[in-house]
């Protein structure tokens, strides 16, 4: 360098551009497309061929909810909980199907239930892809949480695939997109809470409750991660969507709304009886009330929340003013949320196969710490998913084996250690 020559600073290196949302969510997009294609082919071509019949293999439970959505579109709120809808969840289940109900109505398609006189309903070609697509919100939420946990991309690819396999049970097999949408919104709410976005988390949880109140089991776990001074506002926001929808339905038809939502009827002669069945209150047409026993599950979830609150309180104290959760804290909250969702199966007087899915779906995300845990959890979750389709009706045999399967899934996902969950530095 010659004397007097100015020293030039090194050229600034531009930061690498952030990947687009399409790239970041490539794996759940691929899983969604695959589930739609395989689901539609399986229900219309492969499934009927395997059993040797012309009738399509369609989810029976979807049609009643579609009728409820059609009534909602026509502002017939009084008919949401009257036959033949069979609706026992909150009105949000009809809200999420309102767009496709509008399309079906505009196309003049019939919502007649599939059967011998309607073996290949054309409406399935419209409703099926839409129902599967909205169910896959759970896959996108799982991938977003895996990204927040800094899970490597190949592991996220595997997670998307095995999560789609488990989602088949609740979506394609049984036709309950409301369960998948509610769990997906719950997972997005947990993600927002981990980023100290408390208000956003509350609204997401409120939307989830309005669609399917089963996510109330995870509410005590979330409250354990919130500062006490913020809990009243959180609860107020979380209660608003469900209160508005349920209030409108109750005002239009109080008797039908109360009977469906408060008693939660289920049929042990149709679905799987459990050891609790003889203790459940009897209803008309051979049904039993599942609502009272679900209160036991909520009480058990509150007990779990006391443990979580004590652990997170210590972690918050160690972290000072940093309100964001560390990766280990988020993973632990996910595990406890999976346990809380699994408690529903423990106390149900009547079980249906898709009741098992929420706990399995959340446990798979918690299991992404290591490949051995993820693979072992995936194997058990797949076994539970396919084994639950058995027609075995032994109250202890079927129910007991499914409870053991969920317990093993949680065990392999990784029981949180006794040490304090970590917070970000």
Tokens 């509410």 correspond to what residue? 219
Distance of alpha carbon 261 from alpha carbon 393, whole angstroms: 26
Is the omega angle on the peptide bond into residue 84 within 30 degrees of 0, that is, cis? yes
Token code pair at residue 271: 């679905």
- Beta bridge partners, 273, equal 350
Q: How far is CA 149 from the centre of its chain?
A: 19
From 176, 103, 101, select the one nearest 138 (Cα to Cα). Answer: 176
CB of 65 closer than 8 Å to CB of 94:
yes
Quick check: helix, strand or coil at residue 350?
strand
Residues 6+ apart with CB under 8 A from 214: 179, 182, 341, 344, 358
The DSSP bridge pattern shows strands 272-273 and 350-351 to be antiparallel
How far apart are the C-alpha atoms of 42 and 58, rounded to whole Å?
9
Structure tokens that stand for 58 in this block: 């369609």
Query: Of the candidates 277, 409, 389, 393, which has an alpha carbon nearest to the alpha carbon of residue 341?
Result: 409
First to last CA, the chain: 44
pLDDT for 54 equals 83
Angle formed at CA 300 by CA 292 and CA 350, multiple of 5 degrees: 40
Measured CA to CA, the distance from residue 385 to residue 167 in angstroms comes to: 9
Q: Which residue has the tokens 């009827």?
A: 265
Q: Measure CA 362 to chain center.
A: 8
Q: What pairs with residue 272 in β-bridges?
A: 351
- Among residues 408, 238, 292, the alpha carbon closest in space to that of 339 is found at 408
Question: Residue 77: its pLDDT value, please?
Answer: 96
Distance of alpha carbon 238 from alpha carbon 209, whole angstroms: 8
Cα separation, 58 vs 45, whole angstroms: 11
**Structure tokens belonging to residue 109:** 């398609």
- What is the pLDDT tens value at each position of the chain, 425 positions in all? 455 555 555 655 555 566 788 888 999 999 999 999 999 999 999 877 776 778 899 998 999 999 999 999 999 999 999 999 999 999 999 999 999 999 999 999 999 989 888 999 999 999 999 999 999 999 999 999 999 999 999 999 999 999 999 999 999 999 999 999 999 999 999 999 999 999 999 999 999 999 999 999 999 999 998 988 999 999 999 999 999 999 999 999 999 999 999 888 888 988 999 999 999 888 887 889 888 888 899 999 999 999 999 888 766 655 555 578 999 999 999 999 999 999 999 999 999 999 999 999 999 999 999 999 999 999 999 999 999 999 888 889 999 999 999 999 999 999 887 554 554 43
Q: What span, in angstroms and rounded, lies between the C-alpha atoms of 381 and 406? A: 8
Crossing angle of helices 177-194/124-135, nearest 10°?
20
Q: Chain-centre distance of CA 140, in angstroms?
A: 12
SS3 250: helix
- DSSP annotation of 415 reads P
HSE, side-chain direction, 13 A CA sphere, residue 411: 8
Kindly report the backbone phi and psi dihedral angles of residue 266, in degrees, each rounded to the nearest multiple of 5, phi listed first: -145, 160
Q: CA geometry: angle at 158 spanning 345 and 357, to 5°?
A: 15
Q: Tell me the DSSP string of 5-35.
A: PPPPPPPPPPPPPPPPHHHHTHHHHHHHHHH
What's CA 371's distance to the chain center, in Å?
24
Determine the pLDDT at residue 424.
44
Give the single-character DSSP code of 265: E
Residue 127's nearest CA partner among 64, 169, 76 is 64
For the whole model, what pTM was predicted? 0.92
């Amino acid at each position: 360098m010659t004397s007097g020559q100015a020293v030039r600073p090194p050229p600034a290196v531009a930061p690498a551009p952030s990947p687009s949302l399409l790239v970041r969510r490539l794996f759940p997009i691929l899983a969604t497309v695959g589930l739609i294609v395989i689901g539609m082919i399986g229900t219309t071509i492969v499934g009927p061929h395997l059993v040797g019949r012309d009738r399509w293999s369609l989810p029976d439970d979807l049609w009643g909810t579609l009728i409820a959505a059609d009534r909602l579109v026509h502002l017939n709120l009084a008919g949401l909980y009257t036959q033949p809808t069979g609706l026992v969840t909150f009105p949000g289940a009809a809200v999420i199907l309102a767009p496709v109900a509008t399309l079906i109505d505009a196309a003049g398609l019939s919502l007649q239930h599939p059967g011998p006189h309607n073996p290949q309903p054309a409406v399935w070609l419209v409703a099926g892809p839409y129902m599967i697509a909205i169910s896959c919100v759970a896959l996108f939420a799982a991938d977003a949480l895996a990204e927040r946990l800094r899970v490597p991309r190949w592991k996220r690819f595997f997670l998307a695939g095995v999560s789609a396999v488990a989602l088949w049970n609740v979506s394609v097999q049984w036709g309950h997109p409301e369960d998948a949408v509610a769990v997906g919104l719950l997972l997005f709410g947990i993600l927002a809470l981990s980023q100290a976005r408390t208000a956003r988390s509350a609204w997401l949880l409120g939307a989830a409750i309005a669609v399917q109140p089963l996510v109330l089991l995870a509410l005590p776990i979330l409250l354990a991660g919130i500062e006490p001074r913020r809990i009243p506002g959180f609860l107020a926001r979380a209660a608003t969507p469900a209160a508005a929808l349920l209030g409108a339905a109750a005002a239009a038809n109080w008797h039908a709304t109360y009977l469906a939502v408060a008693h939660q009827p289920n049929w042990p002669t149709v679905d799987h009886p459990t050891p609790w069945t003889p203790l459940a209150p009897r209803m008309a047409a051979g049904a039993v009330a599942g609502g009272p026993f679900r209160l036991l599950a909520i009480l058990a979830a509150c007990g779990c929340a006391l443990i979580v609150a004590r652990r997170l309180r210590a972690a918050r104290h160690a972290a000072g003013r940093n309100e964001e959760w560390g990766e280990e804290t988020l993973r632990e909250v996910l595990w406890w949320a999976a346990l809380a969702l699994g408690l529903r199966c423990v106390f149900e007087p009547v079980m249906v196969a898709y009741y098992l899915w929420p706990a399995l779906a959340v446990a798979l995300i918690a299991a992404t710490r290591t490949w051995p845990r993820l693979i072992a959890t995936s194997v058990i979750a797949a076994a539970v998913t396919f084994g639950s389709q058995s027609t075995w009706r032994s109250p202890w045999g079927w129910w007991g084996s499914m409870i053991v399967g969920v317990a093993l899934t949680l065990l392999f996902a990784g029981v949180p250690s006794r040490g304090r969950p970590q917070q970000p530095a």
